[in-house]
Amino acid sequence: MGKAFNNGYPRLLGNRLKTSVIIPAHNEGKHIYDIVEGCKQYGNVIVVDDGSTDDTAKISMKAGAHVLKLSKKMGKGFALRVGIERVIENGSETVVFIDGDGQHRPEDVSRLLDKINGGADIVLAQRQGEHMPSIKRFGNWFLQRVFNSLFGYFMEDTQCGLKAMKVERVNNIMWESNGYFVDTEIAARASINSLKIEQIKIPIIYHDPTKGTTVLDGVRIFVKMLSLRWRIKN
């Protein structure tokens, strides 16, 4: 599956639950150091290097992350499953997912953890701002409307990669997707299984508008939402 680097798992004790942060990353050497550095204050940081051909793994280790290196690109959903397996082994009570491309601010993680400590099962971030490319803005709007109709839960942003959840609830939301559909699938399964969901608004930072989901990815997500809803009903 993947090769692990670094030894040991520093535990965060005190006011916060023991927390692990999972960062899926593919060729994110430009941004990964700052993300790892910003997330270390919250607990264990695990970077799942999804078949990168750059120095993502090396920089992540230098920043202090535990690195799980996949031999080839498997997709975001697959990378997150690899990470969550390690989190369960580690015994963390809370897990945070944050993308490796620098579009999320590590300081916003504390807001998610506050909601978890307040009793939420899962906290989903909702991206806000005027800097999102228009095609991505329209795609998010369309997928949001479809999601709301299919799953009966209002989501402003079905594709945001920043989220936190109680590890004990992972079985309720365990995803099948290997790709970008993972974010929508987690939200859908949380809604279907009546978990206590909180949403928070966060600013978005776009370093590279060409990265992330494409129009074709959006079409695939739409089809997979229909398929997931059909399978659940039948």
Bigger pLDDT: 138 vs 190: 190
CA angle 72, 185, 56 (to 5 degrees): 30
Instruction: Categorise residue 119: left if φ over 0, alpha if ψ from -120 to 50, beta otherwise.
Output: left
89 exposure class (CB count in 10 Å sphere: 0-12, 13-18, 19+): exposed
| Positive or negative torsion for Cα 30, 35, 40, 44 | negative
Q: Which helix (H) or strand (E) holds 111?
A: helix 109-117
Residue type, 186: I
Q: List pLDDT tens digits, range 106-154.
A: 999 999 999 999 999 999 999 876 566 676 677 777 888 888 888 878 7
Which domains, and CATH codes, for the chain? 3-233 (3.90.550.10)
Percent of the chain past pLDDT 90, that is, above it, reads: 63
Buried b (16+ CB within 10 A) or exposed e, 7-44: eebeebeeebbbbbbbbbbbbbbbbbbebbebbbebbb
